[in-house]
Structure 1
Amino acid sequence: MRKRTLRGKVYVVVLVEIPYAGNVRMIGNLLGDPRHEIRIGAPVGAIFEPHDDAKLPYTLVQWKIR
């Protein structure tokens, strides 16, 4: 098995509120350049990243500013 490391990687974690789903809140990664300024309330869209090759396949929801 190949060991993975997060050393040297930067992730921007966001809390996203989804108004049309009863204001459900989800935490996830914000895709894009982590050095860009982020505005609270900025509209985001979901990106679905399938991991079908995993032992137990799953889909990861990530976010991108629209």
Structure 2
Amino acid sequence: MMKHIAKAMMAFGLVSSSVSAGEITYFEFEFESLGASYPYTLYTPEGFEKSNTRYPVMYLEK
């Protein structure tokens, strides 16, 4: 799955093959009131946690 995400990000010009790899983390958001959960994936570029840089955000919906 990570390869598909990386390919899609390169296709949309969000990253290039010359950019060092970041981190892809998988989460699940629980909707207690609905009794359901929603899985989502978060990509953060290398050095994100220590950076003061503002990054663009891309939201995807099912």
Shorter-chain TM range is: 0.3 to 0.5
- Structure having the higher strand fraction is 1
TM-score (norm 2): 0.37
Query: If the length of structure 1 is used for normalisation, what is the TM-score?
Result: 0.36
By percentage of residues, which structure has more helix? 2
